[in-house]
Structure 1
Amino acid sequence: MVASLKLAGPRFRVREATKNDVSDMTEVFFRSFNAKFWQYFLPDNPGGRKFWDESWAMGIDNPTDRSFVVEDTQNDNKIVAFSRWMVPQNDGNLERPWPDVPPGMDMEVAGAFFGGMEVNRHEMLGKRPHWCKQLCQRAKIAALMTNTVLEMLGVHEDYQKHGIGAVLIKYGTDQADKDGLETYLDASEIGQPYYKKRHNFAHPKGINIPDRPEYGSFYYESLIRDPQAAAK
């Protein structure tokens, strides 16, 4: 039985993102993904911010994407979280436009990280339709999928543990349950217990990421959530 799920209250409002939000979404990204691995792999610098600003704008323009932000209505509607969903085309083809990768990216780590997620998803699910939550898609590589993807999700570090991420995740798992589909995600070592305990993800498969002196070791794994029967 999945543990009880804490959901954000009415103080936090979810709405669709616009291009006016891209710099705020980038700020939330860097205030969400701030472990030593992320500081090394996707550091907060002008090149990194340009990459994410362009990425959000491309997603908002993409007709098969749905981007959302969460506002704190008690703090001048400050953007405190985001998510981005990729909606499949009829033929299952999801071409994802990405800007050029930031200068200096460690391409060995990038190949292991993004490539490992892609390999795991195909090995674990094959071509079965499913919902998918990923922290990042392969940079500058087109994706062919037969599913709907929660591609990005981040919550500002000052607003974590308020149930905001749970609302954004529950949107996808509710849709998956309605459709009778599995849900797939990739998670860090910190996030894995939460996804397993609160959202009923299981079936872990690790992703091998090279060690680096800057961050030591970083462990990621892929998880699947089986469709859940509606409560009666």
Structure 2
Amino acid sequence: MMPSEKVEAALVSDEDIPASFEILSKSFGHDAPFVDIYFPDHDTPSGQAQGVKRLTAWKQTSPNSKFLKAVTRAGQGDQERIIGFAIWTHMTEAPSPELEKVEDVEEVWPNKEDREFMARLWRDYIVPRTRAINESHNKGVYVLELLAVHPDYQRLGAGKALVQWGTKAADEQGLQAVVEGTPKGQRLYEQCGLRTEIEEMHFDVGDEFSGRRMPQLKFMTREPRP
């Protein structure tokens, strides 16, 4: 990236979804257990095709979710390069704790053990955001569902632009912003005004899954600012 290039946040089009999912996969690699199980085989052609299909369906059926890209423009015609991706959702109702009501579980997780592991993770994953929604006096909360920046374009302001887009929208609507963030992202979230409410989220998946890699997530919140 040249010094003259500026990072901007913009809305994602359906045509941007494949590039956005590729950034998601490259950003996390296999360092984020929750991403690995939620998007199976995300770094393979079949896993990427399935991920693109799921994100496209999500985007087209959830008007309260805003799909964002961080872009730079350079060269003739200000050619756009996507370097980051995020999803913010104004969530007014708590998500169902039953994964099968949220996802096509047999298609996404054909392996029965993987499906059960994800279902148990999901039940605990949504607990903090559910509490925040229930305590919002029917206003709901603004949830940063996903944030990814291409590894070749880290520390250029893409993540900050995507987070601040959402915190600004939350402020305008008088909403609390929340995120289930990785330890790696904690510093960025703190720079954008979020504070850790739960240092390490709890996942009770049972003894049969004790050998599996467990998510390491912090629940962070930000009160709206005038």
Pairwise TM-score range, normalised by the shorter structure:
0.7 to 0.9
Which residue of 96, 110, 120 maps to 2:118?
A: 110
1:16/1:69 contact within 8 Å kept:
yes
Identical-residue share of aligned pairs (%): 19
Which secondary structure state, in structure 1, belongs to the residue aligned with residue 74 of structure 2?
A: coil
Which residue of 72, 77, 81 maps to 1:78?
A: 81
Deviations 1:151-198 (A, max 9, x none): 222111111211111111112212222333321110112222332344
Give the alignment of 1:24-63 within 5 angstroms.
24-38=19-33, 40-41=36-37, 42-43=40-41, 44-62=43-61
2:7/2:161 contact within 8 Å kept:
no
Give the alignment of 1:1-232 within 5 angstroms.
11-38=6-33, 40-41=36-37, 42-43=40-41, 44-62=43-61, 64=63, 65-74=65-74, 76-87=79-90, 98=103, 100-104=107-111, 106-128=114-136, 146-209=140-203, 215=213, 218-228=215-225, 230=226
1:47/1:102 contact within 8 Å kept:
no
Give, in angstroms, the shift of residue 125 of structure 1.
Answer: 4.9
Distance between the aligned counterparts of 1:188 and 1:204, measured in 2?
A: 12
TM-score (norm 2): 0.72
Q: Which runs of 5+ in 2 are unaligned?
A: none
Which secondary structure state, in structure 2, belongs to the residue aligned with residue 80 of structure 1?
A: strand
Q: 1:57 to 1:69 in 2, by over 3 A?
A: same
Distance between the aligned counterparts of 2:120 and 2:133, measured in 1?
A: 19
Q: Which runs of 5+ in 1 are unaligned?
A: 1-7, 132-145
Distance between the aligned counterparts of 1:77 and 1:176, measured in 2?
A: 27
Q: More displaced, 49-58 or 23-32?
A: 49-58
Q: 1:162 to 1:113 in 2, by over 3 A?
A: farther
Q: 1:37 to 1:202 in 2, by over 3 A?
A: closer
Distance between the aligned counterparts of 1:47 and 1:74, measured in 2?
A: 32
Distance between the aligned counterparts of 2:124 and 2:95, measured in 1?
A: 19
TM-score (norm 1): 0.71
Give, in angstroms, the shift of residue 27 of structure 1.
Answer: 0.7
Deviations 1:68-101 (A, max 9, x none): 2222213742221122233468xx5889975542
Amino acid at match of 1:71: V
Distance between the aligned counterparts of 2:148 and 2:211, measured in 1?
A: 26
CA RMSD of aligned residues (A): 3.4
Q: 1:160 to 1:97 in 2, by over 3 A?
A: same
Give, in angstroms, the shift of residue 12 of structure 1.
Answer: 2.4
Deviations 1:12-67 (A, max 9, x none): 23332222212111111111121334485233223321221112211332251332
2:90/2:142 contact within 8 Å kept:
yes
